[in-house]
Amino acid sequence: MVISGLMFLGVLASFYLNKPLIRYLFYRAKLLFKSILDEREIFNLSNERHLVSVEKALNSRCTSDDDNEQKIFHWGIFDRTRKLSDYQLSELVDKARIPRFTKHSLEIRRERNILTFITDYDLPDEQRQWLMVESGMLQQAVCLLCAASNIGMVFENLGLDGSRLNSYKLAVISMKLDAMKPSYDGEYWSTNPPRGEQPWMKGNMKDPQRDGNIPLMSAINDLKISNASEKIASEEDLSQLLWAARGRTPHFYNSRAWGLTIPTWGGEQNISGIYLVSRDSLSKYINWHQDRPTHKLSELHKIDKKLFQKSLGDFSENYGFIIFEKNENFGRALWEIGYQLLNVLLQAKALGIFYQAFLLDETQKSNVRMTGVNDPVAILAV
């Protein structure tokens, strides 16, 4: 009702803002609603948040709204009777950190419970694209910390490519954080697969583990873009990595079983894609089949892997390569790749396996295109 009232007053004011009395009443009403919101009690964060595993946080990630109905739009529900304190908000922002590929400016500006993600803008095209991927990683770090901390969040879009603040800075996207009601049968977290009318369909890979032993908050604290572990990824590990990147989860979006480990722009499913080069073939990761969530690889064609490996001299690998592709030229596709890349790094760290991550330059992209992937952006060697 508060939001609806503000929207109505906003429309009214747009017609009559030049009239002093209406303008006075409009701003008085804004102050009234602001005071009502400020009087909410401080939300209690769960003591379990420091123990929530990487996998459980990925499986429980969702966005929230105020309609108090999970299956209409977003799955999460904001708690209108509670609010987050400045300390809680500052603590979460302080914990949101990512391993860096570039040295360009990447920041979060907070105004009360609204976070705005800011980057440098006046950069060569390749560097600006890499920075967009890193911004996506930082956005996802906040999303996952919210999932682990029983905090609700929702994006406030600033355009497909963000919005320029000036010649040097870009406001990529904003995000509202607030108190949240339990979203999964009275709990804040879930280790279940998708259920209901569109239940989980077993694919040709081992079903993912939706809980683990490494807490999300520990994993994100000192995450790196590579790990020289002697533990080599198994097929089960690879299955887990692909699910972490873009796997299906139990929440609904727009009344569909479209829950994912990453946020999507308006539910769009195809602005980026994930491929696997393993042994001598290229396969695409599939998470939706016959109108049901699933977890499978679809082999596309054979490749000359020896030639491919020779061309990728920068990369050492034991099992294969996970390739992240964009399917459009807007910034949102790069942010989505950043969401997926952070997820696989966290999952690889939780598994304790060898990995190396790269953002690709033009020469590397040309080499990766030899596999048949049209517009590669990033790669994870395992």
For 47-179, the fitting CATH number among 3.40.1160.10, 3.40.50.720, 3.30.460.40, 3.40.109.10 is: 3.40.109.10
- Mean pLDDT to the nearest integer, 54-65: 97
pLDDT classification of 2: cutoffs 50, 70, 90 = very low
DSSP tag of 48: G
Architecture category of domain 216-381 in CATH: 3-Layer(aba) Sandwich (3.40)
- Mean pLDDT of all residues in the chain? 90
Q: How confident is the model at residue 59 (pLDDT cuts 50, 70, 90)?
A: very high
Mapping DSSP to helix (H, G, I), strand (E, B) and coil, where does residue 244 land?
helix
Three-class SS of residue 149? Answer: coil
Please report the pLDDT score of residue 60 as a whole number. Answer: 98
Tell me: pLDDT of 316 over 80.
no
Q: What is the pLDDT, as a whole number, of residue 1?
A: 45
pLDDT at 304: 76
- How large is the average pLDDT for residues 12-32? 56
Q: Answer yes or no: is pLDDT of 312 > 90.
A: no
> pLDDT tens digit string along 73-97?
999 999 999 999 999 999 999 999 9
The encoded tokens of residue 224 equal 């790196």
- Bridge partner list, 381: 321, 356
CA distance 101 to 357: 9
- Three-class DSSP category at 33: helix
pLDDT band at 3 (very low <50, low <70, confident <90, very high): very low
Residue-wise pLDDT for 193-205, tens only, equals: 999 889 999 999 9
User: In this structure, what token pair is assigned to residue 220?
Assistant: 């994100």
Q: Mean pLDDT throughout 211-233?
A: 95
Judged by phi (left if over 0) then psi (alpha if -120 to 50, else beta), residue 83 lies in: beta
If you write DSSP's letter for every residue of 62-103 in order, what string do you get? --EESSS-TTTS-SEEB-TTEE--HHHHHHHHHH-----S--
Q: What is the pLDDT of residue 38?
A: 63
Write out pLDDT tens, residues 121-161: 999 999 999 999 999 999 999 999 999 999 999 999 999 99
Listed in sequence order, the residues at least 6 apart from 36 whose beta carbon sits closer than 8 Å to its beta carbon are 2
